[in-house]
Chains A and B, each alone.
Chain A
Amino acid sequence: MPARRLWIAGLLIVAAIGFLVYKGLGNSLVYFRTVNQAVAMRAQLGTTAFRLEGDVVPGTVKSVPGGVHFDVSAGGDTVSVVDHGQPPQMFAAGIPVVLEGHFQSGTGGFVSNQILVKHSSSYIAAHPGRVKGDPTAA
């Protein structure tokens, strides 16, 4: 009986490893395309789903019924985006975001169904010298 349990555990582990390697090779190596890369291969991408990365252009963020509208830019190209999801609490103008969605046929805009905030790895004190009670803190 322990031998049988070991076989089942072994099969589950091998299946998990296989799944993760498949996910790793299939998905995470090209996790996103930057705006300029995506624009360059727009014809190829068509309306297939992919992740688009760029900075939210300040001054372009507008609430629209059922979502939010803004532009993202990277490498000199800009794409206009409409998102029909809940923007995360750290979403703001000027920050880099990764959008899950696809190009719209015709208009050239990008339809996003999820905004992911790609924050940098620098951590700077919001109020040096001040310890607590930052009203803007999340």
Chain B
Amino acid sequence: MNPIVSRRASLVTGAVGLTALVGIAATVWLGLWVTPPAVGMGNLVRLLYIHPPVAWVCYLAFGVATAASLAYLWPRTRSRSWDRLAGASAELGVVFAALTLVTGSIWGYPTWGTWWTWDARLTTTALLAVLYVGYLAIRKVPGSPHVVARRSAVVAVLAFVDVPVNYLSVYWWKTLHQTGTVLDPSKQLKVHGIMAWTLLLGFVSFTLAYAWILVQRYRVAALEDHRDSDGLTSAIAERIAEGAGSPTRGTPSAAPAPTVSTSPAAASLGGNGAGSLARGVSSELDGASSVVAK
């Protein structure tokens, strides 16, 4: 149990961050200077390379928060790590939702002629932001760590219902907002050439930026838990756990996770924190959850 994030994990995270930075810089360069103006919109098309990628990250962040919440709610995978990941990703989602609303508004004024209108897409986007602000507030309502984590997880899953509604709103109802940007309902690509490549680069770069910030935010949460919990008690708990032999995942007798889950040590028992992420990043996340000193 290394309390410090492994060198390899921080190298991977650093590479992700650097790639995101270079990718976003390239997106800005292509978006503002290289790509051509569009028919009808002229230069106003250039926000195409920013607004949809930011909106996509908002969906992704709430999706990760919801998946992590479900993993927490399912007893076999229950772990404080999932709760932290959910909280971290939801916070990123709220930031990206706010940026979606602001960049959309700035784009809407010169193209539509209004900063805001109550169509279904815009209304459900605002609702999405407020729902997850509510989720972040629920996380602050006092209670035992497990109770707080469980009720937050339920709220995260319920709030996620608005994501598919938001995505499909432009097809279900009449909206001022245009329909899907990349593909139309018949799965025909609607952007071409350098415009399409720049848009793709925007999607990839903002997704990498999300991944990098998520790792940072997750580790902040893990460090805060470590700081706030009684470090000695959790260290003892971990020693006991180590003494009991290597814990077998999912075996109720060996893993107290479903009922306890109060200390970082329990988190490292409860299962592999973020197995679905890239291996290096995941080991950094795990390193954070097992931050208990040796």
A–B interface present (Cβ within 8 A): yes
Q: Provided the pairs A24-B120, A117-B111, A138-B110 are in contact, do residues A31 and B33 lie with their beta carbons within 8 angstroms?
A: no
Of B82-90, B131-139, B258-266, the one with at least 4 CB within 8 A of chain A: B131-139
Docked complex: B210-264 residues within 8 A CB-CB of A:
none
Q: Which residue on B lies nearest to A13, using beta carbons? A: B134
Interface bits B112-147 vs A (CB < 8 Å: 1, else 0): 111001111011101100110110010011100000
A43 within 8 A of B: no
A1 within 8 A of B: no
Contact of A138 among B44, B130, B134, B181 (CB under 8 A): B44
Residue contact B190 to A122, C-beta cutoff 8 Å: yes
Residue contact A90 to B195, C-beta cutoff 8 Å: no
B187 within 8 A of A: no
Interface band, chain B: 35 or more
Complex: how many Å from CA A30 to CA B176? 11
Q: Which residue on A lies nearest to B175, using beta carbons? A: A31
Contact of A28 among B119, B131, B191 (CB under 8 A): B119
Residue contact A17 to B127, C-beta cutoff 8 Å: yes
Residue contact B118 to A17, C-beta cutoff 8 Å: no
Docked complex: B165-191 residues within 8 A CB-CB of A:
169, 173-176, 178-181, 184, 190-191
Residue contact A31 to B127, C-beta cutoff 8 Å: no
Interface band, chain A: 35 or more
B164 within 8 A of A: no
Residue contact A23 to B118, C-beta cutoff 8 Å: yes
Q: Which residue on A lies nearest to B44, using beta carbons? A: A138
B36 within 8 A of A: yes
B136 CB, nearest partner CB in chain A, Å: 9
Inter-chain contacts of A4 with B (CB < 8 A): none
Residue contact B176 to A114, C-beta cutoff 8 Å: no
Contact of A90 among B44, B169, B180 (CB under 8 A): B44
Inter-chain contacts of A105 with B (CB < 8 A): none
Residue contact A24 to B127, C-beta cutoff 8 Å: yes
B3 CB, nearest partner CB in chain A, Å: 31
Residue contact B180 to A121, C-beta cutoff 8 Å: yes
Contact of A31 among B174, B184, B194 (CB under 8 A): B174
Residue contact A114 to B127, C-beta cutoff 8 Å: no
Residue contact A134 to B42, C-beta cutoff 8 Å: yes
Residue contact A137 to B119, C-beta cutoff 8 Å: no
A120 within 8 A of B: yes
Residues of B near any A CB (own CB < 8 A): 33-45, 48, 110-114, 117-120, 122-124, 126-127, 130-131, 133-134, 137, 140-142, 169, 173-176, 178-181, 184, 190-195
A to B CB contacts below 8 Å, 9 in the list: A6-B140, A20-B130, A28-B119, A28-B123, A31-B119, A91-B113, A123-B191, A124-B38, A125-B38
Residues of A near any B CB (own CB < 8 A): 3, 6, 9-10, 13-14, 16-17, 20-21, 23-24, 27-32, 53, 87-92, 95, 98, 114-128, 130-132, 134, 136-138
Q: Nearest 10 A-B pairs (CB), nearest first?
A: A88-B113, A137-B42, A121-B178, A138-B42, A28-B120, A125-B36, A137-B37, A20-B127, A13-B134, A27-B118
